Amino acid sequence: MNASKVAYKPIGLVLGAMSGALAGAVFKRVWKAVGHEADAPDATDQDRSWREVVIAAALQGAIFAAVKATVDRGGATAVHRLTGTWPG
């Protein structure tokens, strides 16, 4: 295992936790604006339509994926700058 991979492991763990929290906060704000409600529907919420549940899940997944990719790419770039080697 090269130095950049070793250096990236603890950074990746911390960034992963941070990206999850950030994505959750971003989704809550977006859903509040789009859905005009504080909470997104749960899949088992009987009073919500299929359409609403699936749209909320797709939006949440897209936001989580985008935030994770952004944070992971930023972390890899930082490790590359510090070690001169791309972690991967």
Q: What's the domain count of the chain?
A: 1
Domain for residue 77, yes or no? yes
Domain for residue 60, yes or no? yes
Amino acid identity of 9?
Answer: K
The Cα–Cα gap between 26 and 24 comes to: 5
**pLDDT digit string, tens, across residues 31-52:** 999 888 888 999 999 999 999 9
DSSP 84: S
In contact, 18 and 78? CB cutoff 8 Å: no
Domain for residue 15, yes or no? no
Domain for residue 14, yes or no? no
Give the pLDDT mean for 76-88: 84
Domain for residue 55, yes or no? yes
Residues contacting residue 35 through CB under 8 Å, at least 6 positions apart = 52, 56
Q: Which domain holds residue 51?
A: 20-83
Determine the pLDDT at residue 44: 95
Which percentage of the chain shows pLDDT scores above 90?
Answer: 52
More confident residue, 69 or 87: 69
Domain for residue 32, yes or no? yes
The Cα–Cα gap between 44 and 22 comes to: 25
